[in-house]
Structures are given as C-alpha cells and as structure tokens.
Copies of this chain bind each other. A is one copy, B any other.
Amino acid sequence: MDGLKEGTHSVQSIHTREHLAQRDAQDTLREFKERFSLPESVIYLDGNSLGALPRGAAERAAEVVNAEWGQGLIRSWNEAGWFDLPLKLGDKLGQLLGANPQETAITDTTSLNLFKALASALRTQKADSPHRRVIITERDNFPTDIYIAQGLTDLVNSLSQEIGVPYEVRLIDDEASLRAALDEDTAVLALSHVNYRTGSMWDMAEITAAAHDAGALVVWDLAHAAGAVPVDLNGANADYAVGCTYKYLNGGPGSPAFIWVNARHHDRFWQPLSGWWSHNAPFAMEESYTPAKDVRRFMCGTQPVTSLAMIEVGLDIALEADMAAVRATSLELTDLLIELVETHCAEFGFELVTPREHAQRGSHVSFRHKHGYEIMAALIARGVIGDYREPEVLRFGITPLYISRTDIWDAVQILREILHTNAWQREEYSLRNAVT
C-alpha cells in the first residue's frame, strides 16, 4: 500500500457506481430496505449506534399507548401480554444468538445486565474456587463494561469485613496478553465480541475454551454483534452474555437490553439486583427472597413497556433475514468501504483501524485521521451520518438491511469532496455526544 500516498488516483478502484448498482439489484436482502423508514438525503452509517426506524414500530407504540395503556389500563399486564414480553422477546432474540428457549430475557440496560452476570459469576467462583478474585477485561472495551466491573469489585472490597486479597479488575490489550493473564486467580473473563471502536471481533468459541481451560467463566458483551454477525452462544459453550437491542436490532432509542445465561447457571446463585420480577412468586408478596429457577432470576423491576414492545418489530424483521446473507453482504460492504477509501481518498491520510481479516471483523469500519472530528462533522452536515470516537476515529456502521453498495460509493465520494476542498476546515459542528 506504500504507493497510495504518491498522488491522487495513483491506485484506481476496481469498482464503478454502475457496477455497484447492478450488484445491489441482485442482492437477496435488497427488499429489506423498504421495511425501514429513513430520511431522504441521508446515508445512515450509524446503525451500530442507533438502528433505523422499522416500519410498524410507530404503529406498535401507538397501540401500546392508546389501546393497551389508555383503554386497557392495568388489565393490559395480563390481557395485552405485558408480563410476558421480556421472555417472549428474549426467545425471539435468542434465535439469533444460538440460545435455547427460556435462556434470554430482554430487560434493563447492558450495564446493569453485565453487573448481574459478573456478580453471579463471582458468587459461583467463590463457592467453587474461592481464591479466584480477578475479573479480566479489555483496556479498549466499551468503558461502561470496565466501570461496571470496577464498581462491583470496589463495592465488595470496600464493604468487606476484613482486609484480605481484594477483588480486582485486570485490563488486557490483545490476545497474547489475554492468554498470559488467564491464570489460577482469574474468576471471570468479560469481553466484547465486537469492539465498539475498532470493529475487531474475538473468536468466541476459541476464547471461551481458553478461559474455561484456565478455570474462568466468560461473559460476552454482544452490543455490537447481535444482529450483525453470526453468534452461537451455546455452540461456544459461553456462560453469560449481555447486549443491547437499539443498534443492529433496531429496537428504538434506549430500548431495553438483554441478558442470556447458560441454563447451567440459572439455579445456582443469587444475583444481587434481585427485585421482585426475579422472585420465584412475585405476586405472593413474601418477605423473604426466593429466586426464580430460570432466567427470570436475572430480571429486576418493571420494564418500560412502550420502549420494550417496539423491539418486537425490529426483531421480526431480523428473524426474516437470512443471517448468513447478512454476514456475507456485511463483509462485502465493509470490504468495499475500505477499498474505496484507500483508493479514492488515498492521499488524505486515513489509517484503517478495523482488521482486514474477515474472521476478525464485525460490521463496522473505523479509520483514524488526525482531523477525524472535523471531518465527521462535515460528513454529517452533508447527510453522511457516521460517528466519531476518541481518539481521532471516524466510525462507519454497515447495516446490510438498509445500506447498499451505492450508498457506500456515494458516501466515499462525499468524503473525498470534503477532503479535496478542505471543507472540514471551514465548518464547525457539534458532535458533542453520540451514544455508542
């Protein structure tokens, strides 16, 4: 690739827009784009942050609010099936994750579900291998995963009765340091299947096996994986998984998250966020806690029904799509984005952050650029919506259900125009925040 910086167009892309349009027309997923309501004049490359609006979601929300809440009132907990939504939707989602029925609940947030999983895993280890007091996670993990692990260990250490060997969070940087860190002190390994920033992906089965060999339990955060890449939790023999429904699953802004727990861990230990929805008989109003024997043990309190119910619309669309086709198109689109940026924008100094190896790549592509923030602001102003992540990273989410090859082509032409005209130097936009 050394030749790329010698001059404009020194390396020509093998693609043309016409050729890409032909490919789009043959794509088996092409009809799914009509299932989403997207604004005109926008190329939405941020579905890994907030997925697009599926057609039907607004109608579902209106039904919940007007009919189920307004007319049904309290009766809707039974008659409209509100009580059953967390596990009913969990089972639908589970089909995308290699889960068995009744192993997945949609509830609370990813951060909270991670706390439950980590606490449950620490309790299990305390009973079986009490010297194991280390949680291993990635330095480059999405920060909330680190903070939650730190919050849990800090709580236990600070309230412990006597000073002993403290619980600890250890951060690893790559697979080599991960393998070196797994030892007889390791209680839990908590990793994101696909990294939020770089888009790099762990081999779930291989890493789970390595952790189990070392005596550790494994929690997978699937926030950037669920609905984006094939996942087989039972096939990988994982212990716990958490993730969100508002990215590739198109559940809506802040829609409740999920927790999957391998059935072998359901009936072992008390997870501490033990609100009444996790009780074995929540309406018996007992004064002592008796946990449910199934995945309901990992629930806590009453869920936000309107936001929860809308998740089903996106899930139903995801279940109609063939995940193998989604993955194949995702890889073709991410390859295309990399290739077009490295040819059409070769002279502008973008550094690819995402792995080139398919097996190590999720469904988004990130480039580092020293003016990444300003460039992303200029892109968004022109309707190409990606996002920016510290440090200096432009991130583009690739969602094959509603993004086409010509979208990628057009986005790169706009990127090239911004760089070529130095437009990014002349504009100021606020990207202040954008939720992962």
Contacts and interface: CB of A to CB of B under 8 A. Distances in A.
A250 to B, nearest CB: 10
A240 to B, nearest CB: 16
Interface residues of A, number: 110
Interface of A: 37-39, 42, 44, 46, 49-50, 52-53, 57-58, 61-62, 64-66, 68-71, 73-78, 82-83, 108-112, 115, 119, 122-123, 126, 139, 142-144, 146-148, 150-152, 154-156, 158-167, 171, 197, 244, 246, 252-257, 269-276, 278-279, 282-289, 300-308, 310, 380, 385, 387, 389-390, 430, 432-435
Contacts of A62: 58, 61-62
Nearest to A72: B39
12 contacts: A50-B77, A76-B253, A109-B302, A111-B276, A112-B300, A160-B160, A161-B166, A252-B304, A254-B304, A256-B304, A283-B433, A307-B308
B433 A289 contact: no
A68 B44 CA distance: 15
Contacts of A286: 143
A70 B49 contact: no
A178 B330 CA distance: 62
Nearest to A52: B73
Contacts of A52: 70, 73
A37 B70 contact: yes
Contacts of A434: 74, 77-78
Contacts of A76: 253
Given A61-B62, A151-B273, A161 B158 contact: no
Contacts of A246: 302
B150 A289 contact: yes
A158, A285, A385 — which one has the most chain B CB atoms within 10 A of its CB?
A285
Contacts of A73: 39, 42, 44, 46, 50, 52, 385
B151 A289 contact: yes
Given A150-B288, A246-B302, A289-B150, A71 B39 contact: yes
Nearest to A79: B430
A328 to B, nearest CB: 26
A76 B433 CA distance: 10
A251 B128 CA distance: 45
A159 B126 contact: yes
B385 A301 contact: no
B111 A300 contact: yes
A305 B388 CA distance: 22
B61 A65 contact: yes
Contacts of A274: 147-148, 150-151
